[in-house]
Amino acid sequence: MGGPITIQACLNGARPPAAHPALPVTPEQIADDVAAVVAAGADCVHLHPKGDDGLDTLAPDFVDALIAAVHVAAPALPISVTTGEWALPDPTERVAAIRAWGLVPHLASVNWHEAGSAAVVEALFEQSVGIEAGLWSLDDVRDWAESPVRDSVTRVLLELPDRIGEEQVTVLGEEMVRAVRAQAPDVQILLHGEGESAWPALRLAVRLGLETRIGLEDTVHLPDGSMAPDNASLVRAARDLAARLG
């Protein structure tokens, strides 16, 4: 497991079950996939708990079942879960669900631009869950920089959009990194993209010495454009690429 660059495996995301044959959905499937990506070189995982319909949920029963299964598969592995508003759009209900979690992950991502994000952060702190601040734009970076909890987050997630080329990834990614470093020079930064920007963003993260991530949440394709068989193949490709560039 692991290497000079920290690689987080993002196993499923908000994708529905039909999005890829190897997309893990149930706690058992996700736990098996966690073991596979750790063997392939992942240092930590980011997970989206799924309900009986295969869609994202923050409901305590499903979150608790997921955390329990992953702890068995990889007892010491850092686990991050989503708190995306699409899983539970009402901010009050989202906070109530988080406060009802019986088994908590080590970390949870909070998209800074979403309604109710400040209350979600507070609820996670009450549960002793670390915060991954999801920043999708320079405006998000500025909002995070002005937040009273700016220095309490575990890491910043810089999330680059789909359908931008390698040059745009480099320009935007470096600009966002500079903006973060200007406010918090020592904060951990995880840089990643999605879709067409996933592999360019990973290459940029390696060049800059930042944490990064890969998995079926962000892309279903290997660097050569072919369809990835599963999450483990994506992690192996990322670890190989990091070794070549590093």
Write the pLDDT tens digit of every residue in 20-50: 999 999 999 999 999 999 999 999 999 999 9
Look up residue 189 and give its two tokens. Answer: 């930064």
| Low-confidence residues of the chain: pLDDT under 70 | 1-3
So what's the pLDDT on residue 246?
A: 78
Look up residue 29 and give its two tokens. Answer: 């499937």
Look up residue 12 and give its two tokens. Answer: 């499923």
So what's the pLDDT on residue 4?
A: 82
Show Cβ contacts of residue 179 under 8 Å, excluding neighbours closer than 6 positions.
138, 141, 142, 145
Helix runs in the chain, H state only: 27-40, 60-73, 91-99, 117-126, 138-145, 166-183, 198-208, 231-245
Amino acid, single-letter form, for residue 114:
E
So what's the pLDDT on residue 1?
A: 57
Residue 50 forms beta bridges with which residues?
56
So what's the pLDDT on residue 2?
A: 64
Task: Answer for the pair 7, 38: CB distance below 8 angstroms, yes or no.
Answer: no
Q: How far apart are CA 96 and CA 137, in angstroms?
A: 28
Give the residue from 213, 240, 241, 232 showing the smallest Cα distance to 156: 213
Tell which CATH classification among 3.20.20.70, 3.40.50.2300, 3.30.1380.20, 2.160.10.10 matches the domain 7-245. 3.20.20.70
Exposure of 223 in the CB half-sphere (CA atoms within 13 A) = 15
Task: Answer for the pair 2, 241: CB distance below 8 angstroms, yes or no.
Answer: no
Domain ranges in the chain are 7-245
Tokens 């029963």, residue located: 61
- Helix axis angle, 27-40 to 231-245, nearest 10°: 20
Q: How far apart are CA 84 and CA 13, in angstroms?
A: 10
* Parallel, antiparallel or unpaired: strands 107-111 and 188-193: unpaired
So what's the pLDDT on residue 189?
A: 98
